[in-house]
Structure 1
Amino acid sequence: MLMVLCFTVYKCAVSPTGDKLYIINNNQHKLLTLARDGSVLATFTDHALDNPNGLHVTPAGQVLVSGWGSNTIIQVDSEGKRKLATLAMEDEVVKPWSVCYNRHTASIIVGLYNKSSIIVFKVG
């Protein structure tokens, strides 16, 4: 028997104002931005977003996504339409599993799958 895993809604996060829902589609390597009514506002794809699996929205509304297959952490604008920055790449992160921003320490915390550890990046 062949089993196919379809991570259509792999992870989700809500904007600080509650008007947008961000969804990772792991299988199609996409970040979707939805309105409250479920309508699609934006679909974001990028070569640095291979097997996305970590998702976090900062208090400022910027979206952080980890690409497990691409070994990257990217920052996307609050509209979910364009990449603002690549925050970490393969030489710094390998198989990033989760990502989170801590505003009290102004740092990005990345959980790594293969090493069962975290990396902390100071920002700002």
Structure 2
Amino acid sequence: MLLWLAVDRCAVSPAGNKLYITNPSQHKLLTLARDGTILATFTDPELRGPLGLHVTPAGQVLVCGFRSSTILQVDREGFWKLDTLATQMDGVVEPWSVCYSSTTSSILVGQWWNNKFLVFTVE
């Protein structure tokens, strides 16, 4: 029950076998099995107040650190940070949502403070 109260956003893996959820109050990204079993708990100093979350068709997990003003890529198992994709130095301030577009090969980031999107081209 406590887990349910801490959920902010969720996303499902392409295969449908994993559920990723953000817990902003505890600065965590949780990975759950279909039956609700916790498979992984991810924390990182660069992930403060995780909100926005997206899983690409290839299974890449993208998550916004609202308080840390970061966009991270986490492995599909939910254990490790693969990369810091963007920070405040790139113009990210209080990111609220993230999405990958395979059509444009870009990452779209919605921000809380100005209601604008940032677009980052993926190489």
TM-score by length of 2: 0.94
Give 1:3's aligned residue. none
Give 1:116 deviation, angstroms. 1.0
Alignment-mate amino acid for residue 108 of structure 2: I
Alignment-mate amino acid for residue 32 of structure 2: L
Secondary structure of 2:11's counterpart equals strand
Q: 2: CA distance between counterparts of 1:106 and 1:77?
A: 19
TM-score by length of 1: 0.93
Give 1:91 deviation, angstroms. 1.5
Give 1:54's aligned residue. 52
Unaligned runs of 5+ in 1: 1-5
Once the two structures are aligned, what percentage of the paired residues are identical?
Answer: 61
Give 1:113's aligned residue. 112
- The CA deviation string for residues 8-67 of structure 1, in whole angstroms up to 9 with x for no partner, is 000000000000000101110000000011101000000011001100001111100000
RMSD: 1.1
Instruction: Tell me the number of residue pairs that the alignment of Structure 1 and Structure 2 aligns.
Output: 119
Give 1:82 deviation, angstroms. 0.3
Tell whether 2:7 aligns with 1:12: no
Tell whether 2:71 aligns with 1:87: no
Secondary structure of 2:88's counterpart equals coil
Q: 2: CA distance between counterparts of 1:16 and 1:37?
A: 16
Secondary structure of 1:91's counterpart equals helix
Unaligned runs of 5+ in 2: none
Give 1:72 deviation, angstroms. 0.2
Structure in which a larger fraction of residues adopt helix? 2
Listed as ranges, the matches of 1:39-78 within 5 Å are 39-78=37-76
